[in-house]
Structure 1
Amino acid sequence: MKPACLIALIAASAFPSLPHVAAGDPIVMNVWPDKPPGETQTLPEEADQTKPVDRLIAGRRIIKLGNVSTPQIAVYQPPAEHRNGTAVVICPGGGHHILAYDLEGTEVAEWLNTLGVTAVVLKYRVPARDADRRWRAAVQDAQRAMSLVRSHAEAWKIDPDRIGICGFSAGGETAGLTAIFQEDRTYEAVDKIDQVSIRPDFALLIYAAGMVEKGTTQLHDYIKVNQDTPPMFFAHAFDDRVSVHNCLTLAGALKEAGVPAELHVYATGGHGYGLRVTDQPVTRWPEQAASWLKTMKLIP
């Protein structure tokens, strides 16, 4: 971890005119100072690609944000009197095609704010740029977002040692890899922000994809867990079309490495429910997650 003075200096030099924003109003900021790494193509305009025939989640539509070329973070802060210094970067899912931006983004931020946690919704690049490593652009954006948030720790009243990451489905893959890679940055540093640690201090992986080789129970060869891997919380349904082995196998590896973890597997519930409550017990996972955050002394 970089010293607090360096974090403050970097934040001041990179963003000298950071505005004061009242609690409840998100601070929106580009992740990169210029084009993101490896960007060569021009996509159609960013837009909500939800169709009238798309399935409803808990009786409501969702926002499916597509053609994201300019990654951004939106920082949602609880009222000052309720902030506890913990922050979480949120990675919505969407199969690396779109982002379920409200279901697995802004609605998650609202929940975290009720816990006193500063919530940072990451709008990462979609669709995937790399056919072989579909997660690459997303992880680059997430790693940069971690440095960006940590560099603003003093300004946003965040403890730089209590910044985690949360992800759903493909966003769970993004969050999981960002945590597992620790300080192994997947892009060349572009400015002083990249001198700040990218390692999440903890991770919440909700029906995460992409941890195991397709059709197997084996972790991908680029997933290396060790004693320094951040603690993790998992929630998954046994009948999810995204294999439950994504969380089971990774949780087993964490156990072998001596890393704290909590795993909740529910009999039914499927995939893609976010925080929207139905009659399925799996949709109560936020209660278990809040309990885990307390156990880990991340919230009071």
Structure 2
Amino acid sequence: MPFLNRFFVRSVVVCYCMFLGSCTLAEDQVELEIWPGDLPAGSVQMAPKVIAKLKSELTAERIRFVDRATLTVYPAPKKLANGCAVIICPGGGYNILAWPKEGLEVAEWFNSIGVTAFVLKYRVPRRIPDRIHWEPMQDVQRAIRFVRHRAEQWDIDPGRLGTLGFSAGGHLTVMSGVQYNTKCYDRVDEADDLSCRPDFICPIYAAYLGDKYNDRIVELGPLVTVNKDTPPTFMAVTWDDSMRGAQSALLFARLREQGVPAELHAYAKGGHGYGMRPSDNPVSKWNDQLHAWLKSSGFLSR
């Protein structure tokens, strides 16, 4: 079956499973809730009519409503597994999740290079207008600790766990790397005794890095606070993607100032929202550069 057709079939199956309420995607791919009980204090509940409408708008490409965050686990094949792991944050403006294109397809690619992948279904749509990333930030911090706590179960190295995200998920990825000391929720269980600092971050065409979440401002927002402990960073973006390329370049400069290992690939064309899908633009090969970076940085070595 052709590469993209295989992913399309998987997307349809996944959405069908969501309609049925099933959490099992395949023999080795399961969907796990990361919050064992109530959601963190302050979580905003949406009106039932709004929830029903959003659920009715579910498609094979987009998830429009999530009220309890989950991780879909993609274990690396045993013959390829190298112990590295990544939590993938799909994009969608913090309003939807581009689930297959920026989630499941990416997880399968990571499996092909021996990396165990976890696709984070964080809470959408936005609940808090002036803090659009707050509830997703709770989810990603909890997800990192959740995976570290179960690292032995999945035969992964808890010291080689990174985050990667696209667009709004790229912003969430950056926040996971620069705001890990910000306490977003109260302790739930022993997993929360572990660090939520990722060992590397990979924001891909990251959105909302500018002040006041404005992608047209060529400056970084006050929450993008880089220091010497910020995780090693890989970035890919295009010149024709609003001001996101310039903002990624500013982030790269700040990382350099602090001595944080970083790599930025800024391509001329490609726009926004391409995931890992092939095109005539060189940016469609950005994942080859990511593979090389992960390897040269030692993240793929047992």
1:296 matched residue in structure 2: 297
1:237 matched residue in structure 2: 238
Instruction: Report if the CA contact (8 A) 2:90-2:98 is conserved.
Output: yes
1:49 matched residue in structure 2: 57
SS in 2 for 1:288: helix
Q: In the TM superposition, what is the alpha-carbon distance from 1:48 to its structure 2 partner?
A: 7.2
* Letter of the structure 1 residue corresponding to residue 36 of structure 2: P
Q: Once superposed, which parts of structure 1, at least 4 consecutive aligned residues long, lie more than 4 Å away?
A: 21-24
Q: In the TM superposition, what is the alpha-carbon distance from 1:217 to its structure 2 partner?
A: 2.3
Instruction: Report if the CA contact (8 A) 2:170-2:207 is conserved.
Output: yes
CA–CA distance in 2 between the matches of 1:191 and 1:299? 30
CA–CA distance in 2 between the matches of 1:88 and 1:115? 12
1:3 matched residue in structure 2: none
Instruction: Report if the CA contact (8 A) 1:143-1:185 is conserved.
Output: no
1:99 matched residue in structure 2: 97
Picking from 33, 38, 42, the partner of 2:36 is 33
SS in 1 for 2:144: helix
2:209 matched residue in structure 1: 211
CA–CA distance in 2 between the matches of 1:185 and 1:296? 29
Instruction: Report if the CA contact (8 A) 2:89-2:119 is conserved.
Output: yes
CA–CA distance in 2 between the matches of 1:291 and 1:283? 15
1:202 matched residue in structure 2: 200
- Once the two structures are overlaid, the 10-residue window that deviates more, 96-105 or 205-214, is 205-214
CA–CA distance in 2 between the matches of 1:83 and 1:24? 17
Instruction: Report if the CA contact (8 A) 2:218-2:243 is conserved.
Output: no
1:192 matched residue in structure 2: 190
Change (3 A) 1:49 1:275: farther
Picking from 80, 83, 107, the partner of 1:82 is 80
How many aligned residue pairs are there?
270
Structure 2: unaligned runs, 5 residues or longer: 1-23
Q: Deviations over 1:61-102 (max 9, x none)?
A: x61101110110011012222110000000000001100000
CA–CA distance in 2 between the matches of 1:246 and 1:99? 23
SS in 2 for 1:84: coil
Change (3 A) 1:148 1:48: farther
* Letter of the structure 1 residue corresponding to residue 57 of structure 2: Q
Structure 1: unaligned runs, 5 residues or longer: 1-20, 52-61
CA–CA distance in 2 between the matches of 1:195 and 1:273? 37
What are the residue-to-residue correspondences of 1:1-300 with 2, within 5 Å?
25-37=28-40, 38-42=42-46, 44-45=51-52, 47=55, 49=57, 63-213=61-211, 214=214, 215-241=216-242, 243-300=244-301
TM-score (norm 2): 0.85
Q: In the TM superposition, what is the alpha-carbon distance from 1:50 to its structure 2 partner?
A: 6.0
Instruction: Report if the CA contact (8 A) 1:182-1:229 is conserved.
Output: no
Q: Which has the higher helix share?
A: 2
Q: Deviations over 1:168-217 (max 9, x none)?
A: 00000011101111333322222222111111000111000111222322
The CA RMSD over aligned residues, in Å, is: 1.9
CA–CA distance in 2 between the matches of 1:291 and 1:131? 39
Q: Deviations over 1:199-245 (max 9, x none)?
A: 10001110001112223222211221111100000000100135212
CA–CA distance in 2 between the matches of 1:22 and 1:41? 28
- Identity among equivalent pairs (%): 44
SS in 1 for 2:111: helix
CA–CA distance in 1 between the matches of 2:130 and 2:85? 32
CA–CA distance in 1 between the matches of 2:56 and 2:96? 9
Instruction: Report if the CA contact (8 A) 1:209-1:242 is conserved.
Output: no
